Amino acid sequence: MIVAFSLSPMSNDPTGSVTDAVAAAVRVVRESGLPHETNAMFTNIEGEWDEVMAVVKRAVDAVSAASPRVGLVLKADIRPGYDGQLSAKVERIEEALRDAQ
């Protein structure tokens, strides 16, 4: 499965910055050893249901350590029997775009 998730910590920073709390969550994902990528809005992580959800929970716990309230947005692509789709999906789109030229 691939999960795209975003954590929104409550911030006491006068600028509204949540950088440190979000960095703590991304650190959890990177240390998991699972395939992942982070962009400006979401972190994507690929693996089996239990291992991915455990990482998401640990990421929420890491943010909760710095924030009394955390919002979580999660979207999952559950497709048993497939792996390596984090990059394969993008490669298929890039190939289709090249073929269309």
Q: Hey, what are 101's tokens?
A: 């030229």
CA distance linking residue 9 with residue 64, whole number of Å: 8
Three-state secondary-structure class, residue 86: helix
Backbone angles phi, psi at 43, to 5 degrees: -115, 130
pLDDT in tens, 56-88: 999 999 999 988 899 999 999 999 999 999 999
Structure tokens at 90: 């993008």
Instruction: Give 11-65 pLDDT, tens digit per residue.
Output: 777 787 888 899 999 999 999 999 999 999 999 999 999 999 999 999 999 999 9
CA 20 from chain centre, in angstroms, equals 16
